[in-house]
Structure 1
Amino acid sequence: MNAIIAKIFQDTQIRIVEANQNNAPTLTVPYGIYNITSPFIKGVGTEDVTYQVTETNLEKKRTEQYKQTVSFTFYGTDNETTIDLANKVRQWFLFFGEEFIQSKNITVVSIGNIQNRTTFLVDSYEYKHGFDVQFRLSEELTKNVDFFDKVTI
């Protein structure tokens, strides 16, 4: 996720930081936050298990696809700013960042609608808008398995 956030900043100049972090820097608006709300959503079907024989051992590889949901929220001094920030980053996921995301072996499954997440704090509003993105990722695990190549009877 760090590489995606860095690329969004490079392409849009919109600062986005991870939510719910201890010792997080205090930012001035406008900025965005992201939160991985569902880190692992099991994919449909079963994992793929394969074996590969090398010169010295047998390698077992397990590959599984899963989904991950990330929520983006943008803060600003007014509604127009937060809507604009959310829209620019949403467009980045839809179009401008497509090749970069694919180069990381990640697929965008869905991008939600931009929603008003503004809250009233004592005597003023905290303006924010955001959306969720669902990604498809792949996890690959490999281990060496003992085997024998000759049997003496």
Structure 2
Amino acid sequence: MNLVAVKELITQIKKDIGIPIIKGNTKAPAPKPPYGMYNITSPYIKGKGRGAVTLHDSESGPYEKRTEEYTFTISFSIFAENTETTIGLAHKVHQWFLFLGEEFIREQGFVIASVGNIENRTTFLVDDYEYRYGFDVQFRAVDEQIRQIETIEKVEITNLGG
């Protein structure tokens, strides 16, 4: 999984939507609302088959390349002071994935497989509500692995038994 590209994706959403988006499940204190939070809930969902293995030549010698398509899921939650603001910001981020960020997502080497529905994730904390709405996005990506291989240039055959 290309975590650098995921971080660039999050940075671009922050820039385009105008709210901070933090990584979830950390001990760092959350910013003052409104803000977004993301969690990579499924970093690798195997595709069908074992991937494709192909042979290639380069200046440094022959190599094998294994290419595999997989999916991964990121969950987004938006936090704000009231339901209306939370829903509005969640909708903006949701729309970013459906249209506004499409080209940027492709530049990172990802394709959107699905964008889930915006759902109420509000919780009650001691004596007040924490307003949050969110959705999941499933991406398709390609993983490549390369390994050098050795070839035998010449074989000398002697004494064939005849």
- Identity %, equivalent residues: 50
2:72 counterpart (55, 68, 75): 68
Structure 1 residues 130, 57: CA separation in 2 closer, same or farther (over 3 Å shift)? Answer: same
TM-score by length of 2: 0.90
Shift of 1:20: 1.0
Tell me how far 1:122 sits from its aligned partner: 1.3
Q: What is aligned with 1:38?
A: 42
1:40-96 CA deviation, whole Å, 9 max, x = no partner? 111123301011123442211111010001100011110111111110000000000
How far is 1:38 from its partner?
Answer: 0.7
Q: Provide the residue aligned with 1:14 in structure 2.
A: 19
**Within the alignment, does 1:28 sit opposite 2:35 as a pair?**
no
Provide the rounded CA distance (Å) in 1 between the counterparts of 2:41 and 2:153. Answer: 48
SS of alignment partner, residue 54 of structure 1: coil
**Higher relative strand content:** 1
TM normalised by structure 1 equals 0.95
Structure 1 residue 13: Cα displacement = 0.8
5+ residue gaps, structure 2, are 1-5, 158-162
- Which runs of structure 2 are paired with 1:32-111 in the superposition (5 Å)? 32-111=36-115
Q: Match of 2:160?
A: none
Residue 132 of structure 1: how far off its partner (Å) = 0.3
In structure 2, the residue matched to 1:2 is: 7
Unaligned runs of 5+ in 1: none
**Aligned-partner Cα distance in 1 for 2:61–2:155:** 16
Letter in 2 for 1:144: Q
Displacement, 1:33? Answer: 0.3
* Alignment CA distance shift 1:55-1:6 (3 Å): closer
Question: Which of these residues, 139, 144, 148, is aligned with residue 143 of structure 2?
Answer: 139
Bigger CA radius of gyration: 2
